[in-house]
Every structure is written in structure tokens, then in C-alpha cells.
């Protein structure tokens, strides 16, 4: 394209000479006769060089030059003054105002062309240099921005921290009002949220906001996922900001890019402008694309590291909430709790007495999304039959004798949280029917009331009974059984946990040595061998009591095998430290008064002997025997039914 030379001169003769000379050389030569006209025409003409006469009516050449240099369109345009004077003062003034040269009248065509070509060349070189410099500055800024992003994402391997650092850098680099990551970028999902976001303080935060996916938002996500690069959303763009986003979060313009980490679903990386509409430059789009690529790699690596760390932790956890033990059976339990805790399904925990069913329920609660809500515990065997429904569902004043006030039940207290029903196998068929209605509908009525109330409660149940066998025997409702056992967690017996026995024993040893102010620090080799060889029918609770008794009854720094036994190869089985006095004697009961059992005895024989000795010791008083054994009276009667013994109820 031919350069445009604007001539500003009020003398027609000068105009003709210059016009002819320059046009012959191939230039485009617009002309005006006054400074005022020049100032008006330059916006449209956008000349590459201006020949400006100094002496003109109206505003002279100097004033015209001064004003031209203030205009954006001509501030860098070379201006050559035309003058018939040779006064150096005038030339100095012209140079001070921004002129680059002078041409004196009368004109010499060779001189005019030489000076014009020289200054056009200089101007073009200057523009090229400025463009190169701008490119270099952009490139340096580009590299510095990526370096800042790299530093931010390398400071941590935690996904949330890493991505928040990345958004902080993004907000600064692009000088936008909000930088965010949306997950999942699924156009078919009912909703999405913004787990990572950095917003300028004057604007509303969208972090962790649950955003319903409207048809507009679904379309925007789908368009972004299918695009090969960033998509700009705005009033003047082909893609419009979804109205829900625009209204709720004051978004005028948005730049979005799909991020596909190697693991998991895609994310959506976004910049938002709230203050005004924004047109994103080509450099910004390129840099944003590179930011997205870097974040995708960092996100994928970080998720991989976290998954690997979780897997390693799951496979080698020595403790998990209140559980202690690194055996394979317990690792399986820990992993199962991890997997089911966030589910809404009902869970049934089974296992022998003393295996830690309540600890399991508590771990499920703490790992669930209800961890900040109530956790209520109901030991079904510890409540008399006629009060179980009242205890669970509450009662109104006057519902029964002794109901002097309204009472809130555990179900209501657990609203929003978790209700743990321990020993659910002890419930009568009548109470089971009431519980079934609650499990099916999540509604209940207080005893003595017809008002139906609704709650949101996650139910976790536990039993040491075989409920499937109880169903066959007609003692447990089949429909309730299937309702509460969507997921079953069967806790291993202590004898199945190998080296966990020693880990637990050491834990209890340090605990009770501290509590009892004893010096015990370790277990001898023979003590460890004996602990590992015993069957532990009472499981962890029995081990706990055995260690406690050994600490209380002995002195020293090391627990030996002799401290566990009264005879060779026999382990003391006890349930409480020796402190309960005999009802017909002044002496205190000792652990040997309860029972000493050979480790080769069958579990039922041990259990039967323990219960029988306790009842005998308490002169047939089952209530006292239950307290002695730290179990419920109902449990004793149930066990005795199995042994076909029927003592008088006391």
C-alpha cells in the first residue's frame, strides 16, 4: 500500500508543486489549506507523514504541530515543516514541538523526495522496533506469567491448595475480577459447584456455591468441552453469558476453557469480568490456553499423588479413628468404611462381642458428610421393652404412667445426622414393626401422639447375633433385616487379627500404666507369645481388661506371662478389676473367683461358665451379675435361654 503524505499549505502554487512531485513518486497525496482543516482530516486520513507550512492564516504551523502531537492518531507521525525562512529560532521551536525536519522554499523535487523517503524509512523502522519491543515485552510477560504459575503450583501437592495458588496468579496476570475452576464440567449433571475460586473483594464469591445446571449453562459447558481452545462469552460475542451466571454473580464477560486432567472428569477453567464488558486480546487467549494446559498437567499429577498417598495410607494404616491395628482384615475394614461412609445406604455392623462395633459406627459417622451433625447412640439391650419406643421416638405428656413431660426421642435428636442402634437384635417384634415404618418413610410419631414428624437420619445398626438365623427362627422381621442391611460390615474377631493383638496390648499397657501411675513400659517375649496364642473369646474388650488387671495387680517395668495366668497355659478371663464385694462375705471378688479358662476351651463353654460363675457369685441376682460382667440383664437371659437355663429374674 502506498504511503499517504498529507500536505498542509495555504498557497495553491506550493500545493501543486508538492502534489505533482509526490504523486509522480507513487505516494497518495491528500491536501488541506489550513491547520484547522488538517486537525479535522487526520482522523480519517491517518497520514504516514505530514508536510506542514509554518506561515498560514488562522492557527500557524507551530500551533498546528503542537495540537497534532497531542492527538493519538498523529502523535508518532513524522512532521516536516515547509518554510521560506532560514531563522534558526524557528527551526529550534519546530524541533521542540516534535517536527523532524524542514524543507525550504523554493522546492527542489530531489530534496523533497529524499527527505520524505528518509523520514518514512525512519518512521517505519521505529514502528517495527516498537512492534518487536512490544512482542518481546509480551513474550517476557508470557514467560514470567508461566513461571509464576509454575512456582505457585509447585509449592504444594495438595489439590485444593495448588489450584487456589494457580487462581491467585491467574487473577493477577489477567487482571480480571474472578478466576475459578468449576467441577464437574458435565452438561448432563443436575448441578455443579466452584470448589476453587479467587475473587476481588468487591465482588460476590462463588466458592462452593451449588449452581443448578440450566439449559443455558448446559449449552455453555457443552460448547466449551467441544472447543479446541478458549471460548469468550459476552454481550458482543457469539456466545452469551448464561443469564443465571450474569444475574447472580454480576458477570459481564467470561473466558472459559475445558481442562482434561489424566484422572477424573473434566474441569472448567474460567475468567470473569464483572465491572465492564471485556474484549480478550489474542495474546491473552494464547496465554490463557497455556495456563489451562499447565493447570491440567498439575491437576492430573496432584490428583495422582493424592490417590497414591491415599492408597498407600489405606494399605498401611496402623490407626484409623479409634481403631488400632494394621492387619489385613482391619485394612479391609478401613477401606470399606472409606467407601461406604459417604453413601446414604443403611449399614449393619456385625461381629462378636468386643470387636468394636460402636467404634466402627463412629468412624462411619466421622467419615461421612454428616460429620458436623449429631451422632446419637441407642443401646437397644440396655432399655427395658416398655420404654424402647419412647426412648427412640419420644413421648408426649400423659402418654403413659410417669410421662409427666413431653420428651424428645433419639430419632429427633439425630435429625440431619446419624443414629446408631447397637444390639438391634434385642428389639421385640413390636418395636421392630415401629422401627420398620420409620426406616421406610423417615417419619414417626411420638408415643401418645398422632402427629407425624419427618426427619433426615442416616441409620447405622449393630448386632452380635446372626440376624439371618433370627429371621428364620421368627425372632426378627425379614423386611426390617433387608432394610437395615443394605451394606454389612463384618468385624473380624481379635484371634483373626494376628499382630494387632500386640499393638493393642502395648497401647492398653501404656494407657493403664499412666492411669494407675505404674512403671510398666513393655511386654516380655513370653507374654507376647501367650497373648498371641490365646483365642480371645471376649475379643478386644477382654484383652483390654486383661492388660488392665495385670497392671493393677503387679509391679515392675515389664509385663510377663506369669502376670496373666494362675496356672500354666491358662489366661485369666475377667471383665472387671477386683473391686465388687461378695454379697454374703466380706472378702473382695478376685479374677479367679470368676473363672480361669484353658485356651483350648470352646467359646460357648467359656461364655456359659463365665455367666454361671457370675450369677453364682451374686447369689442368683442377675442384675448384679450383669453389672459385674458389664453387659445387659437382657443379654444374660438371652444367653441362658440358649443354654436352656432359666434362673429367677432378680
The per-residue pLDDT for 450 is: 87
pLDDT band at 316, cuts 50/70/90? low
The per-residue pLDDT for 604 is: 60
If you average pLDDT over residues 238-249, what whole number do you get? 90
pLDDT band at 598, cuts 50/70/90? very low
Spatial distance between the Cα atoms of 137 and 159, rounded to a whole number of angstroms: 32
Superfamily of domain 5-127: Response regulator (3.40.50.2300)
If you average pLDDT over residues 225-247, what whole number do you get? 90
**Grid cell of 78 as nine digits:** 513524522
If you average pLDDT over residues 128-142, what whole number do you get? 81
What average pLDDT does the structure give for the chain?
86
If you average pLDDT over residues 534-562, what whole number do you get? 92
pLDDT band at 132, cuts 50/70/90? confident
If you average pLDDT over residues 49-68, what whole number do you get? 93
Q: How far is CA 170 from the centre of its chain?
A: 20
- Burial of residue 289 (CB within 10 Å: 0-12, 13-18, 19+) is middle
Q: Give yes or no on whether 5-127 and 320-492 have one common fold.
A: yes
The per-residue pLDDT for 160 is: 85
The per-residue pLDDT for 596 is: 40
The per-residue pLDDT for 314 is: 61
CATH 3.90.550.10 is the classification of domain 159-308: no
- Burial of residue 339 (CB within 10 Å: 0-12, 13-18, 19+) is exposed
Annotated domain spans of the chain? 5-127, 159-308, 320-492, 500-643
The per-residue pLDDT for 605 is: 66
Spatial distance between the Cα atoms of 296 and 260, rounded to a whole number of angstroms: 6
Beta bridge partners of 347: 460, 487
Q: How many CB atoms lie within 10 A of CB 530?
A: 21
**Grid cell of 337 as nine digits:** 468404611
Span of 87-101, 365-379, 381-395 with lowest mean pLDDT:
87-101
- Are the CB atoms for 22 and 29 separated by under 8 Å? yes
If you average pLDDT over residues 108-112, what whole number do you get? 91
If you average pLDDT over residues 330-345, what whole number do you get? 89
Gyration radius from the chain CA atoms: 44
pLDDT in tens, 81-104: 998 755 555 778 889 999 999 998
| Most confident segment among 141-155, 483-497, 595-609, 625-639 | 483-497
The per-residue pLDDT for 582 is: 42
Span of 25-39, 518-532, 578-592 with lowest mean pLDDT:
578-592
pLDDT in tens, 203-231: 888 888 888 999 999 999 999 999 989 99
If you average pLDDT over residues 178-190, what whole number do you get? 88
- Give the contacts of 127 (CB within 8 A, at least 6 positions apart): 76
Query: CA torsion angle for 621, 623, 627, 632 (degrees, to 10)?
Result: 130
- Alpha helix stretches (DSSP H) within 537-632: 539-553, 591-594, 603-617, 622-629
pLDDT in tens, 411-457: 999 999 999 999 999 999 999 999 999 999 999 988 888 889 999 99
pLDDT in tens, 265-276: 889 999 999 988
| Most confident segment among 13-27, 142-156, 565-579, 609-623 | 13-27
User: Buried b / exposed e across 488-525, counting CB within 10 Å, b at 16+?
Assistant: ebebbbbbebbebbebbbbbbbeebbeeeebebeebee
Query: Can you give the three-state secondary structure of 131-152, one letter per residue?
Result: HHHHHHHHHHHHHHHHHHHHHH
The CATH number of 500-643, from 1.10.8.60, 1.10.760.10, 3.30.2320.30, 3.40.190.10, is: 1.10.8.60
Q: What Å distances lie between residue 142 and 139, 171, 178, 403, CA to CA?
A: 5, 14, 20, 76
If you average pLDDT over residues 459-469, what whole number do you get? 94
pLDDT band at 556, cuts 50/70/90? very high
- Say whether pLDDT at 140 is over 90: no
Spatial distance between the Cα atoms of 560 and 461, rounded to a whole number of angstroms: 39
How many helices (H) does the chain have, and how many strands (E)?
23, 26
- Say whether pLDDT at 479 is over 60: yes
The per-residue pLDDT for 85 is: 59
Cα atoms in the Cβ-side hemisphere of radius 13 Å centred on 148: 17
- Are the CB atoms for 49 and 2 separated by under 8 Å? no
- Are the CB atoms for 564 and 527 separated by under 8 Å? yes
Cα atoms in the Cβ-side hemisphere of radius 13 Å centred on 512: 24
What is the CA angle 280-286-290, rounded to 5? 125
User: How much of the chain is helix, strand and coil, in % rounded to 5?
Assistant: 50, 15, 35
- Say whether pLDDT at 646 is over 70: no
The per-residue pLDDT for 567 is: 36
Q: What Å distances lie between residue 260 and 289, 299, 402, 485, CA to CA?
A: 12, 9, 65, 39
Span of 1-5, 559-563, 583-587 with lowest mean pLDDT:
583-587
Could you tell me which CATH class the domain 320-492 is placed in? alpha beta
The per-residue pLDDT for 603 is: 53
Amino acid at each position: 500500500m502506498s504511503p499517504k503524505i498529507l500536505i498542509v499549505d495555504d498557497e495553491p502554487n506550493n500545493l501543486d508543486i508538492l502534489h505533482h512531485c509526490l504523486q509522480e513518486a507513487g505516494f497518495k497525496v491528500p491536501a488541506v489549506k489550513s491547520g484547522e482543516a488538517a486537525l479535522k482530516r487526520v482522523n480519517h486520513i491517518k497520514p504516514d507523514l505530514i508536510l506542514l507550512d509554518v506561515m498560514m492564516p488562522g492557527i500557524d504551523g507551530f500551533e498546528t504541530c503542537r495540537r497534532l502531537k497531542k492527538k493519538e492518531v498523529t502523535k508518532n507521525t513524522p512532521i516536516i515543516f515547509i518554510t521560506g525562512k532560514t531563522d534558526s529560532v524557528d527551526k529550534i521551536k519546530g524541533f521542540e514541538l516534535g517536527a523532524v525536519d524542514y524543507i525550504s522554499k523554493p522546492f527542489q523535487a530531489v530534496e523533497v523526495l529524499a527527505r520524505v523517503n528518509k523520514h518514512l524509512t525512519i518512521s517505519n523502522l521505529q514502528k517495527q522496533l516498537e512492534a518487536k519491543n512490544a512482542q518481546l515485552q509480551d513474550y517476557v510477560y508470557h514467560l514470567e506469567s508461566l513461571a509464576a504459575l509454575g512456582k505457585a503450583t509447585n509449592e504444594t501437592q495438595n489439590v485444593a491448595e495448588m489450584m487456589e495458588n494457580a487462581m491467585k496468579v491467574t487473577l493477577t496476570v489477567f487482571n480480571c475480577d474472578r478466576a475459578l475452576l468449576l467441577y464437574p464440567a458435565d452438561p448432563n449433571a443436575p448441578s455443579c459447584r466452584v470448589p476453587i475460586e479467587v475473587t476481588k473483594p468487591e465482588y460476590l464469591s462463588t466458592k462452593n456455591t451449588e449452581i443448578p445446571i440450566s439449559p443455558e449453562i448446559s449449552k455453555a459447558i457443552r460448547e466449551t468441552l467441544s472447543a479446541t481452545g478458549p471460548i469468550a462469552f459476552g454481550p458482543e460475542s457469539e456466545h452469551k453469558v448464561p443469564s443465571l451466571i450474569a444475574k447472580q454473580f454480576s458477570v459481564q464477560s467470561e473466558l472459559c476453557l475445558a481442562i482434561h486432567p489424566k484422572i477424573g472428569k473434566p474441569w472448567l477453567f474460567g475468567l470473569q469480568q464483572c465491572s465492564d464488558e471485556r474484549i480478550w486480546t489474542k495474546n491473552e487467549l494464547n496465554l490463557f490456553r497455556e495456563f489451562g494446559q499447565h493447570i491440567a498437567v498439575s491437576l492430573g499429577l496432584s490428583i495422582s499423588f493424592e490417590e497414591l498417598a491415599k492408597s498407600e495410607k489405606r494399605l498401611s494404616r496402623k490407626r484409623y479413628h479409634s481403631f488400632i491395628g494394621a492387619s489385613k482384615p482391619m485394612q479391609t475394614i478401613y477401606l470399606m468404611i472409606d467407601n461406604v461412609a459417604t453413601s446414604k445406604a443403611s449399614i449393619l455392623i456385625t461381629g462378636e462381642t468386643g470387636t468394636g462395633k460402636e467404634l466402627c459406627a463412629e468412624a462411619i459417622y466421622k467419615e461421612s458428610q454428616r460429620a458436623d451433625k449429631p451422632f446419637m447412640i441407642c443401646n437397644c439391650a440396655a432399655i427395658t421393652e416398655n420404654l424402647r419406643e419412647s426412648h427412640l421416638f419420644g413421648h408426649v405428656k400423659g402418654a403413659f404412667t410417669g410421662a409427666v413431660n413431653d420428651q424428645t426421642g433419639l430419632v429427633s435428636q439425630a435429625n440431619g445426622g446419624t443414629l446408631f442402634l447397637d444390639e438391634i437384635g434385642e428389639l421385640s417384634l413390636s418395636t421392630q414393626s415401629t422401627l420398620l415404618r420409620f426406616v421406610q418413610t423417615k417419619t414417626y410419631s411420638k408415643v401418645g401422639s398422632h402427629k407425624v414428624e419427618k426427619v433426615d437420619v442416616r441409620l447405622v445398626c449393630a448386632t452380635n447375633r446372626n440376624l439371618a438365623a433370627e429371621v428364620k427362627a421368627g425372632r426378627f422381621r425379614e423386611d426390617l433385616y433387608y432394610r437395615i442391611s443394605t451394606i454389612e460390615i463384618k468385624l473380624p474377631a481379635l484371634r483373626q487379627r494376628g499382630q494387632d493383638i500386640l499393638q493393642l496390648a502395648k497401647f492398653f499397657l501404656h494407657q493403664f500404666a499412666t492411669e494407675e501411675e505404674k512403671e510398666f513400659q513393655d511386654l516380655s517375649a513370653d507374654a507376647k507369645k501367650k497373648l498371641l496364642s490365646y483365642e480371645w473369646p471376649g475379643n478386644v474388650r477382654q484383652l483390654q481388661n486383661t492388660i488392665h488387671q495385670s497392671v493393677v495387680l503387679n509391679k515392675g517395668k515389664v509385663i510377663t506371662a506369669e502376670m496373666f495366668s494362675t496356672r500354666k497355659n491358662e489366661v485369666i478371663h475377667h471383665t472387671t478389676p477386683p473391686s465388687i464385694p461378695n454379697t454374703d462375705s466380706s472378702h473382695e471378688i478376685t479374677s479367679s473367683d470368676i473363672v480361669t479358662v484353658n485356651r483350648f476351651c470352646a467359646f460357648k463353654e467359656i461364655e456359659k461358665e463365665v455367666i454361671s460363675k457370675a450369677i453364682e457369685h451374686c447369689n442368683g441376682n442377675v442384675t448384679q451379675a450383669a453389672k459385674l460382667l458389664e453387659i445387659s440383664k437382657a443379654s444374660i437371659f438371652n444367653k441362658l435361654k440358649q443354654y436352656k437355663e432359666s434362673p429367677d429374674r432378680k
